[in-house]
Amino acid sequence: MSGLEELGAGFLAAAVRVATPLLLAATGETVTERAGVINLGIEGMMLAGALAAALGASAAGPWTGMLAGLAAGTALALLFAAVVVGARGDQIITGTAVTLAAVGLTGMIYRQAYGTAGAGLDLPTLAALPIPGLRRIPVIGPAFFDQPAPTYLAILALPVVWWALFRTRAGLRLRATGESESMARAAGVRTDVVRAGATLIGGAFAGLAGATLVLAQVGTFAEKMTAGRGFVAIAIVVLGRWHPAGVGLAALLFGAATALQFLFQTLGWELPYQLFLMLPYALTLLALAGLVGRVRPPAGLAKD
């Protein structure tokens, strides 16, 4: 492999790695927002998923951890759905509240389970699962086909969600609910069930995303470790224009912006590392501004 090729492969692999949890969370949020619900609580659901995954994995292995993460995300989504769909509470504030609740609860449980030292947790993690043949493709191979299982899950989820949203009756009902709840209801759709279901799916994905962060990337849990990734996932949904294909690209773009840090380090360019911490957020803002007039959210988003 030439030096340049190696550099490109490393960069792309890092981008995909960073993008994986974001992609999972954003895919779930796409489903939720298509049903007309914006869930700012996925930040908290990711965090809950991360802690549950750590607890589950240290008890019974990484796959139990993934399931525990999924369950924790779904449980918090149930709370969100009860307030937003059941009681018709404001979505933005409820989402903020759910995130705050998750910060408090994970802090409490984490301290009790692992003590104050904590950080040195030794969790069983998910190793890379190279796909024979495909992984030998230059540059693309190591980036997309030599990753832990959750990356494949995230990529496969995109066509599945696309098909479910745009090619099935349930998907049609879900999108109709998101465009105009009253019209959908008039057409016989049980819109409350649809919105609650879409919220739970979003929560399950967010929980998986948090679990991925712990079990396929960091290998440990820390307080507030999601550090705004859930909020970034919401921006990614907008960037991806509420479409699975766009969301996939937007997540990769965000991953690439973060991975620039590793690239610059390898190249030996000295820039303050905080610049790279800012870059993905700043870039997302720029990209959102660049979409002027060219995106249209589900018409019923965040209504009631």
Partner 1 sequence: MPRRAWGIAAAALGLGLAVLAAGLTLAGYDAGAALTALWSGAFGSWYAFTSTTLVRAVPLILIGLGIALGFRAGVFNIGAEGQFYAGAIAATWVGLHVAALPAAVAIPAVWCAALLAGALWVAVPVGLRMRYGVLEVISTLLLNFVAEALVSYVVQGPLQERQGIYPQSDPIALSARLPVVPGTRLHAGLFLALGCAGVLWYLFARTRWGFMLRAVGAGARAAEVSGRIDSRRVTAQALLASGAIAGLAGGVEVSGVSYALYQNLSPGYGFTAIAVALLARLHPVGVVGAGLLFGALEAGAGAMQRDAGVPAVAVSVVEAVVLIVVVVAAAGVRRPGALHAPGFRRRAA
Residues 51, 102: contact at Cβ < 8 Å?
no
State which of positions 270-299 bind partner 1 (CB under 8 A). Answer: 272, 274-275, 277-278, 281-282, 284-285, 288-289, 291-293, 295-297
Structure tokens of 127?
A: 């190793």
How many CB atoms are closer than 10 A to CB 179?
Answer: 17
Task: Identify the DSSP state of 134.
Answer: G
d(CA 201, CA 23): 14
Cα Rg, the chain, nearest whole Å: 19
Q: Is 37 in the site for partner 1 (CB under 8 A)?
A: no
Write down the least CB distance from residue 83 to partner 1, Å.
6
> Among all chains, which residue has been given the structure tokens 């389970």?
113
d(CA 212, CA 22): 10
Give the residue, chosen from 55, 57, 123, 232, that forms a contact with partner 1 under the rule CB under 8 A: 232
Collapsing DSSP to helix, strand or coil, 148 comes out as strand
Give the residue, chosen from 67, 109, 172, 222, that forms a contact with partner 1 under the rule CB under 8 A: 109
Q: Is 94 in the site for partner 1 (CB under 8 A)?
A: yes
Q: Is 96 in the site for partner 1 (CB under 8 A)?
A: yes
Q: Is 180 in the site for partner 1 (CB under 8 A)?
A: no
Give the residue, chosen from 1, 60, 108, 187, that forms a contact with partner 1 under the rule CB under 8 A: 108
Collapsing DSSP to helix, strand or coil, 19 comes out as helix
d(CA 67, CA 53): 7
- Between 134 and 275, CB nearer to partner 1: 275
- Between 107 and 219, CB nearer to partner 1: 107
- Between 10 and 297, CB nearer to partner 1: 297
Collapsing DSSP to helix, strand or coil, 176 comes out as helix
Q: Is 227 in the site for partner 1 (CB under 8 A)?
A: yes
Structure tokens of 304?
A: 């009631």
d(CA 300, CA 33): 9
Stretch that binds partner 1, among 159-167, 207-215, 220-228, 251-259 (CB under 8 A): 220-228
Task: Point out which residues bind partner 1 (CB under 8 A).
Answer: 40, 83, 87-90, 92-94, 96-98, 100-101, 103-105, 107-112, 223-224, 227-228, 231-232, 234-235, 238, 272, 274-275, 277-278, 281-282, 284-285, 288-289, 291-293, 295-297, 302-303
